[in-house]
Each structure stands twice: as structure tokens, then as C-alpha cells.
Amino acid sequence: MAAGELVRERPTSAEEVAAVLAQGHIVRPVGGGTKNWGAIGTAAEVEISTERLGALVEHNVGDLTAVMQAGVRLRDAQEAFASAGQRLALNPPDFDGRA
């Protein structure tokens, strides 16, 4: 990696995320890229995109719990829960299906 060069990683599993983090670089997690504001902090060397971490791993209808990867889009989660007569109890401002 050249000095000042930002590398973008697109892992598909928690193990791949762990491997990137184990390299010791300054990282910035990036979701859908819809909310790029706030305290930026130290300049990142590596961006870790969650775009390929979009699986609903487990949905326990009976006890109202779910396990989702970091990149699950809110719209997709709501659709999955709706099929069981449930919903994600979240009301983000300006919701357009992405977070």
C-alpha cells in the first residue's frame, strides 16, 4: 500500500473482516455510504465496506430475535420480518430503505 493511498476492502465473512483488522491499519467501516458526516477522526488507510455482508443469519420468530450481518439493508430486514408478521422496531429519520 502506497503512503496516502486508501484501500477499499469488500469482505464476505466475519473471518475476512478479522483478517483485514489483524493487519493493524487504521480502518473506516462503510455501509451504504448514505450518512457520511460526523466526527471523521484519523484519516483511514483502509475502508471496510459492509456491502457484501448482507445476510439475515437467523430469525427466531417465536422469541422475536434475529441475527444479521453488518451490511443488511433495513428494507431487506423489514421485508424478511414482515413475512412472519413482524417488523424491526426502528424509525430512523429520512428512511429510504438504506441506513
- Greatest Cα pair distance in the chain: 51
pLDDT in the model for residue 35: 72
Residues 41 and 66 in one domain: no
pLDDT score recorded for residue 64? 93
Domain membership flag for residue 99: no
Q: Quick one: 82 and 68 in the same domain?
A: yes
Q: What is the pLDDT of residue 96?
A: 63
Number of independent structural domains in the chain: 2
Q: What is the pLDDT of residue 69?
A: 96
pTM score, two decimals?
0.75
Please check whether residue 81 lies inside any domain of the structure.
yes
Residue 68 domain flag: yes
Look up the domain containing 16 and give its range. Answer: 7-49
**Contact by Cβ (8 Å): 70, 48:** no
Quick check: 16 and 69 in contact, CB under 8 A? no
Burial of 53 from C-beta contacts in 10 A (0-12 / 13-18 / 19+)? buried
Distance of CA 58 to the CA centre of its chain: 16
Same domain, 44 and 69: no
pLDDT averaged per 10 residues in sequence order, the chain, 99 residues = 83 97 95 74 90 96 95 92 90 61
